Structures are given as structure tokens and as C-alpha cells.
Amino acid sequence: MRRIAILLVPILVGACLSTQDSSLTLDPTDTNVAGSFSLASINGSSLPIIAAVNAAQETDLLSDTVSIQSDGTWTETSVFNITVFPGNTASTQVTVIGGTYTISSQQINFVQTTGGGSVAFAGSVKGSRLTLLYGGSQFLYNRVT
């Protein structure tokens, strides 16, 4: 059950944060998109972010890194703090998902193929910034390498 909950965190994070805006757009992407990018904000909110909470536990997103390779693949590594109630016992969990991407219509078209399910979403790299649009939310990343 915990694995399923963690895989749904991107959806839950977007749903829990401020307003979702289905009119979000992307800048035309640079042609060289390869690099490693660290999550700076979701819908304008900085990390850490409460990703999910219920009577049994709270899941906080501590960090998230997307690595885009020049061979058309990508991986995302997320680090969560999970606090179990009662007693506030905390643990750290790392999840890794990945997939493929193509560039067309001036955007990056990502498809998740590993880590649970198949999900498609769009993004763009402009200078040192990666922007992802997922579930009506905007995820902004800063280039690390």
C-alpha cells in the first residue's frame, strides 16, 4: 500500500497545492535538453512540501531530481520523509521512476515507463530552467549540471 501511495505523490502534490491551472503553457524548449535538474517549486511553493496526509501518516517531499540523458531517456529520483502516527516515527524513502522522451512541437514529451504505470506529460528546457506540466500543476526545476 505504501508503494502505491508514493507512486501517486506527484498527483497528490499537485492536487494539494494552491490552484491548479489548466491554461499553463510552456516556452519553446531548447534543443539541448540533457542535464540534471533539481526541483525548486510546485505551483510557486518551495520544498519541502506536504505531498499527502491522512490519519495514519504524513508524506513530505524533501527533494526531487530529474536527469535527462541525450539518448532519449530520463530518470526522476524523489526523496520523501514519512511520519507515521501516532508516535511520529519518521523514515526516509527514495523512489526512482523513469522513461523516454521525444522533442516535437517545441516541447519535450515525456513518457514514464518504469516505476509504476505509464504516464505522459510535457516539459521544456529554457536556459537553466526545466518546466514540467503535470496534472494541471507547474513544476519548476533548476539545472544542476
Burial class (CB in 10 A: 0-12, 13-18, 19+), 89: exposed
**Residue span of the structural domain in which 78 resides:** 2-143
Residue 63 belongs to domain with CATH number: 2.40.128.280
Distance in angstroms between the alpha carbons of the first and the last residue of the chain: 35
Q: How confident is the model at residue 92 (pLDDT cuts 50, 70, 90)?
A: very high
The model's pTM is 0.83
User: Each residue of 44-90: pLDDT tens digit?
Assistant: 999 999 999 999 999 999 999 999 999 999 999 999 999 999 999 99
Number of domains in the chain: 1
Q: Label residues 4-28 b or e (16+ Cβ within 10 Å = b).
A: ebbbbbbbbbbebbeeeeeeeebee
